[in-house]
């Protein structure tokens, strides 16, 4: 049976079989070669241009349009950008730059605006003096947005005029560009509506865009970025006659960012919940071999590292050449200072030692930037490596010499990391020698499945022996394995591997997964391609789930990135209507199925009822409706657990994803770390969003 996955409200059923017409007939000639004209290629294969048609790809559209205005600001032509979410899944992006040219292009014989909006690889960033430094490709980014939109309107203010052109159904022009009014302003306004036939979900996240724009404001000093959400506004918005919608004076959710501190401020922001090892943030800005280099860093009292990489203000989640140059220079510079009397003879720090507790931001800007992959996640420009190495090593060496107190604090932190690494390695080697993680001896509490194919296997991590016993009886033994946990696992946020492996609970989980941990971790050895966290719907269950998510985020990140980690959604209520049984997974479902005033079975008193209670009971019996509230998986029998939580054909699973790794990292620091005031403030701020089980 093909399983139906439920992910964020969308059911996806895998296709089975099928063949193309060419393969079916056996013909393969010129007529089988498809030539895609204009933007048709983008609509046919959108994932090649924006990575995915899921939520990440949807938000990538906003970022592509924003990048054009941001590049104007990087060139000194703009200082104010506004992003507005409008009713009807529309987005409006405004910048006060020079405005896209509207005169006729000599090659395409249409306006430069239409060329940029409808022709791939056409724009001001491929050569000439239009842009000395840019983050993306003007013609690629905005033309791709146009191709994937149901409707797009481009409004340009330049040369004393206001010009307009509209496009529909994937970039088809609705007439030529026209001058509609005189204007003393300058800039570009792009308003677009993503195509529902391309994007299954078109609900933009205000928080996702805010997080990205905060980051960009740090990177472009002096740039004002505003985000406004008009989706809940019922009154008419006069967007055609207002340049910035904030001038409409309508009270809506909004956020504005403006930073003069640049990367220093970004490092301080990332360390706001952590204890600094040294007070001042190191910073250098210099140009080397036509590469503009900026680096800021600070060590904190933590065992992890946080390195953010940017090339032309594009976030490189996978790093690249500039990060390679930075890490090489950091290790070499600290070891050179070690030999100059700051450490013991014979000691040498490794790359892991100097990275522990480090928060750093590395940013390069260059004219000819090369990325690996369309989504620009990794910088491939080789010259960036040498430029960052040279600029950072020289400046950081001078910083350590000129700031002896800071240098001592950093060397103390790195030395402590080296000693801890050696101790952890000795403890880990001792455990490995005993064969605890060699995959030969599975934990006794694990009820393994019969299949040996990882793509078929499912591991349910359940809370408590009671639920574990029920799950073992109700499971499909062929594909489903059960691992019960006894109570709450160790909080690993600040624990090293040796301490983690001393915990029987964590060791059992590591052995069951089969991947090992730390520097010998191997995702290819993962024994199950569905790892499902199944905890009770109460406070303790939520705590255990958070501890497990912390463990996977910090030490099994590829499991999350690979789409292997899920959270089970057991029902909250069992509802009987005569002989029919229903399950409700939310309070709204219960009310819809059973009615608002039907009491829970646990609320029906065995004491002699009052007149009012007797009427209620009579009403309940006459309607033959009873409601049972589940507080734990162990309260279900094996059949109930199977049909509600474990049956692939009927269950609901939530896929665990990391939309923004940096934000997730900060939240885990705050919730699971040692900064009690920050955690208290977070809980107080978000208390109203919590679902309480009282």
Per-residue model confidence (pLDDT) at position 344: 56
Q: Is 129 a catalytic residue?
A: no
Q: What average pLDDT does the segment 348-354 reach?
A: 93
Average pLDDT value over all residues in the chain? 82
pLDDT-derived band at 205, boundaries 50, 70, 90:
very high
Pick the closest to residue 628 from 692, 583, 680, 683 (CA basis).
583
pLDDT-derived band at 129, boundaries 50, 70, 90:
low
Asked if residue 167 has pLDDT above 70, the reply is yes
Secondary structure (3-state) at 524: helix
186-200, 590-604, 666-680: range with highest mean pLDDT: 186-200
pLDDT in tens, 469-478: 999 999 999 9
Q: What average pLDDT does the segment 313-322 reach?
A: 91
More confident residue, 608 or 161: 161
Catalytic site residue from 79, 301, 540, 665: 540
Q: Is 536 a catalytic residue?
A: yes
Q: Is 540 a catalytic residue?
A: yes
Per-residue model confidence (pLDDT) at position 18: 39
Q: Which residues pair with 364 in a beta bridge?
A: 293, 311
Per-residue model confidence (pLDDT) at position 421: 82
pLDDT-derived band at 422, boundaries 50, 70, 90:
confident
Catalytic site residue from 406, 463, 498, 669: 463
Is residue 42 within 8 A of residue 687, CB to CB? The reply is no
Rounded to whole angstroms, the Cα distance separating 534 from 647 reads 13
pLDDT-derived band at 666, boundaries 50, 70, 90:
low
437-570+630-658 CATH, one of 1.10.3720.10, 3.40.50.670, 3.30.1330.10, 3.30.420.40: 3.40.50.670
Asked if residue 633 has pLDDT above 50, the reply is yes
Catalytic site residue from 465, 538, 601, 659: 538
pTM of the model: 0.64
- Name 191's Cβ contacts closer than 8 Å, sequence gap at least 6: 86, 90, 91, 92, 93, 152, 153, 155, 239
Report the range of poorest mean pLDDT among 86-90, 426-430, 660-664: 660-664
Rounded to whole angstroms, the Cα distance separating 326 from 288 reads 14
Map out the domains of the chain as residue ranges: 47-257, 263-428, 437-570+630-658, 663-694
Rounded to whole angstroms, the Cα distance separating 575 from 582 reads 5
Q: Is 522 a catalytic residue?
A: no
Asked if residue 424 has pLDDT above 80, the reply is no
How far is residue 481 from each of residues 381, 452, 458, measured CA to CA in Å? 46, 11, 6
Sign for the pseudo-dihedral over CA of 654, 658, 659, 662: positive
Asked if residue 434 has pLDDT above 60, the reply is no
Q: How far is CA 242 from the centre of its chain?
A: 34
263-428 CATH, one of 3.40.50.2300, 3.30.230.10, 3.40.50.300, 3.20.20.70: 3.30.230.10
| Burial annotation 475-502 (CB, 10 A radius, 16+ → b, else e) | beeebbbbbbbeeebbebbebbbbebbe
124-133, 490-499, 525-534, 654-663: range with highest mean pLDDT: 525-534
Task: Check if 263-428 and 437-570+630-658 are the same fold.
Answer: no
Pick the closest to residue 436 from 363, 508, 378 (CA basis).
508
pLDDT in tens, 580-620: 888 888 888 888 887 766 666 655 444 444 545 445 444 44
pLDDT-derived band at 41, boundaries 50, 70, 90:
confident
Q: What average pLDDT does the segment 621-650 reach?
A: 82
At the topology level, CATH places domain 47-257 in: Heat Shock Protein 90 (3.30.565)
Asked if residue 95 has pLDDT above 80, the reply is yes
Asked if residue 110 has pLDDT above 70, the reply is yes
Q: What average pLDDT does the segment 248-273 reach?
A: 91
Per-residue model confidence (pLDDT) at position 124: 52
Secondary structure (3-state) at 434: coil
Rounded to whole angstroms, the Cα distance separating 565 from 557 reads 10
Q: How far apart are the first and last CA of the chain?
A: 40
Per-residue model confidence (pLDDT) at position 694: 35
Q: What average pLDDT does the segment 293-307 reach?
A: 93
pLDDT-derived band at 376, boundaries 50, 70, 90:
confident
Asked if residue 11 has pLDDT above 50, the reply is no
């Amino acid at each position: 049976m093909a399983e139906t996955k439920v992910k964020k409200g969308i059911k996806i059923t895998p296709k089975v079989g099928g063949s193309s017409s060419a393969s079916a007939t056996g013909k393969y000639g010129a007529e089988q070669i498809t030539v895609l004209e204009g933007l048709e290629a983008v609509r046919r294969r959108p994932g090649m241009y924006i990575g995915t048609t899921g939520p990440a790809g949807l938000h990538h559209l906003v970022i592509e349009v924003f990048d054009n205005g941001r590049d104007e600001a990087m060139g000194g032509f703009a200082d104010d950008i506004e992003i507005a979410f409008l009713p009807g899944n529309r987005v409006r992006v405004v910048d006060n730059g020079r405005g896209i040219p509207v005169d006729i292009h000599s090659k395409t014989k249409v306006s430069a605006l239409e060329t940029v909006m409808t022709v791939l690889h056409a724009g001001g960033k491929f050569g000439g003096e239009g842009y000395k430094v840019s983050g993306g490709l003007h013609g690629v980014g905005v033309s791709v947005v146009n191709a994937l939109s149901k409707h797009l309107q481009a409004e340009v203010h330049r040369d004393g005029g206001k010009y307009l052109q509209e496009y529909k159904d994937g970039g088809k022009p609705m007439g030529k560009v026209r001058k509609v009014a005189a204007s003393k302003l300058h800039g570009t306004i792009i308003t677009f509506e993503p195509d529902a036939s391309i994007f299954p979900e078109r609900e933009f996240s205000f928080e996702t865009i805010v997080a990205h724009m905060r980051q960009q404001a740090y990177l472009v000093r002096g740039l004002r970025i505003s985000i406004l959400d008009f989706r809940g506004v019922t009154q008419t918005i006069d967007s055609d006659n207002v340049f910035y919608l904030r001038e409409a004076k309508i009270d809506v959710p909004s956020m504005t960012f403006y930073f003069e501190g640049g990367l220093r401020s970004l490092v301080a922001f990332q360390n706001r919940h952590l204890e600094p090892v040294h007070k001042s943030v190191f910073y250098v800005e210099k140009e080397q071999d036509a590469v503009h280099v900026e680096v800021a860093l600070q060590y904190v009292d933590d065992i992890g590292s946080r390195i953010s990489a940017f090339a032309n203000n594009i976030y490189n989640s996978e790093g690249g050449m500039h990060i390679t140059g930075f890490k090489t220079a950091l290790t070499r510079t600290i070891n050179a200072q070690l030999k100059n009397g700051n450490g013991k003879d014979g000691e040498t720090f490794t790359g892991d030692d100097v990275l522990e507790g480090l928060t750093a931001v590395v940013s390069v800007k260059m004219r000819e930037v090369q990325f690996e992959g369309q989504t620009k996640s990794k910088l491939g420009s080789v010259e960036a490596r040498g430029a960052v190495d040279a600029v950072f090593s020289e400046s950081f060496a001078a910083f350590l010499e000129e700031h002896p107190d800071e240098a001592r604090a950093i060397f103390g932190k790195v030395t402590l990391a080296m000693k801890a690494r050696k101790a952890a390695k000795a403890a880990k080697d001792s455990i490995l020698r005993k064969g605890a993680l060699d995959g030969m001896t599975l934990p006794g509490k694990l009820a393994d499945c019969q299949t040996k194919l990882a793509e078929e296997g499912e591991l349910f991590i359940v809370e408590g022996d009671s639920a574990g016993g029920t799950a073992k009886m109700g499971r499909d033994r062929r594909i489903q394995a059960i691992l019960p946990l006894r109570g709450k696992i160790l909080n690993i946020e600040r624990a090293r591997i040796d301490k983690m492996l001393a915990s029987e609970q964590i060791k059992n989980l590591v052995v069951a997964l089969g991947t090992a941990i730390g520097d010998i971790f191997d995702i290819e050895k993962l024994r199950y391609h569905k790892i499902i966290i199944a905890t009770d719907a109460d406070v303790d269950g939520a705590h255990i789930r958070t501890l497990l998510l912390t463990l996977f985020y910090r030490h099994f990140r590829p499991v999350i990135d690979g789409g292997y980690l899920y959270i089970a959604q057991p029902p909250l209520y069992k509802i009987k209507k005569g002989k029919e049984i229903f399950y409700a997974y939310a309070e709204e479902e219960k009310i819809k199925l059973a009615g608002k005033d039907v009491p829970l079975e646990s609320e029906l008193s065995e004491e002699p009822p009052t007149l009012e209670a007797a009427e209620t009971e009579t009403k309940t019996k006459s309607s033959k409706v009873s409601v049972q509230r589940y507080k734990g998986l162990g309260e279900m029998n094996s059949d109930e657990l199977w049909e509600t939580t474990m049956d692939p054909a009927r269950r609901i699973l939530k896929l665990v994803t990391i939309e923004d790794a940096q934000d997730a990292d900060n939240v885990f620091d705050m919730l699971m770390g040692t900064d009690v005031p920050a955690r208290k403030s977070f809980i107080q701020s978000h208390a109203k969003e919590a679902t309480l089980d009282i």
